[in-house]
């Protein structure tokens, strides 16, 4: 039994939207999840394709102070990576800032946002939406136009669709977020920088990234203490935090 409320929804439009609508009913750390999300959204407004019964759609509701909330996506990627390691024995790579790759293809994505709640908007919470591809067949990714997506089952993991979604949701809530926030909340990204750097697939590769007035290009050299991607360019070193970053050498670029 979870130490925090973890609410299963047989079907919903969006776990993030459901969390917002019911946010005042939840405690400091809670979550909602489903295996049938009909109206989600991808990063940067990309089209959503549901995989009913074959994936985990999960949102953590975090009503705890954070000194560095902008790095929550990086912290969350490590939390997901650890739960997947524990359940399936897999070693996922992280594409900065928060996509998880397995076998060189995307296995999970994360989308975080800050929300206000209460009569006067005095409450502050953070939502962390996570999608994990559990058992979609290759035909799903082909039909969805996702040549660089994959599922745990396609990568050889033994997936139990009856038990795994609840196990992952409970583990992420109690251990990934609740326990992890005892450190991440007051200290931020710094204690996790080493683990994140070791898992980050961008480093040492050529990347292109958004910058004011156009696109930049260089070699990803590290992650700084604020979670920014350090890129060495022809004109010097840049610390990238927002915008789209593509990585050369991973099935073209991702």
pLDDT value of position 64: 95
CA 141 to chain centre: 19
Residue 52 burial by Cβ neighbours in a 10 Å radius (0-12, 13-18, 19+): exposed
Neighbour order of strands in the sheet with 99-102: 6-8, 29-34, 55-62, 123-133, 105-117, 99-102, 93-95
220 band by pLDDT with thresholds 50, 70 and 90 = very high
Per residue in 71-80, pLDDT tens?
Answer: 999 999 999 9
pLDDT value of position 82: 98
pLDDT at 3 over 90: no
Instruction: Answer whether the bond into residue 177 is a cis peptide, omega within 30°.
Output: no
| Contact call for residues 55 and 11 (beta carbons, < 8 A) | no
pLDDT value of position 67: 97
pLDDT value of position 39: 82
Lookup: tokens for 236: 């010097």
Spatial distance between the Cα atoms of 174 and 166, rounded to a whole number of angstroms = 12
Per residue in 30-41, pLDDT tens?
Answer: 999 999 999 876
Residue 237, SS3?
strand
pLDDT value of position 41: 64
Per residue in 77-108, pLDDT tens?
Answer: 999 999 999 999 999 999 999 999 999 999 99
pLDDT at 174 over 60: yes
Lookup: tokens for 38: 């009909």
Least confident piece of the model among 16-25, 59-68, 143-152, 244-253:
244-253
Spatial distance between the Cα atoms of 55 and 241, rounded to a whole number of angstroms = 29
pLDDT value of position 254: 46
119 band by pLDDT with thresholds 50, 70 and 90 = confident
Residues 6+ apart with CB under 8 A from 137: 151, 153, 154
Around Cβ 128, how many Cβ atoms within 10 Å? Answer: 26
Lookup: tokens for 196: 């994140």
């Amino acid at each position: 039994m979870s130490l925090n409320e973890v609410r299963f929804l047989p079907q919903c439009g969006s776990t993030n939207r459901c969390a917002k609508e019911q946010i005042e009913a939840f405690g400091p750390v809670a979550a909602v999840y489903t295996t049938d999300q009909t109206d989600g959204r991808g990063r940067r407004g990309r089209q959503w394709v549901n995989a009913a019964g074959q994936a985990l759609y999960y949102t953590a509701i975090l009503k705890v102070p954070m000194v560095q909330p902008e790095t929550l996506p990086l912290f969350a990627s490590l939390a997901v990576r650890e739960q997947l390691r524990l359940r399936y024995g897999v070693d996922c790579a992280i594409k900065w800032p928060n996509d998880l790759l397995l076998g060189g293809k995307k296995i999970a994505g994360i989308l975080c946002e800050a929300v206000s709640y209460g009569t006067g908007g005095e409450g502050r919470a953070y939502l962390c939406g996570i999608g994990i591809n559990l058992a979609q067949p290759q035909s799903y990714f082909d039909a969805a136009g996702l040549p660089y997506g994959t599922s745990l089952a396609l990568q050889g993991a033994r997936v139990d669709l009856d038990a795994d979604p609840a196990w992952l949701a409970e583990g992420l809530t109690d251990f990934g977020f609740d326990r992890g926030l005892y450190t991440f909340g007051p200290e931020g990204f710094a204690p996790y920088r080493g683990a994140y750097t070791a898992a980050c697939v961008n480093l040492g590769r050529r990347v292109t990234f958004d910058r004011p007035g156009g696109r930049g290009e260089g070699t990803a050299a590290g992650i700084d203490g604020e979670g920014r991607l350090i890129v060495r360019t022809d004109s010097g070193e840049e610390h990238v935090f927002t915008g789209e970053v593509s990585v050369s050498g991973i099935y073209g670029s991702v």
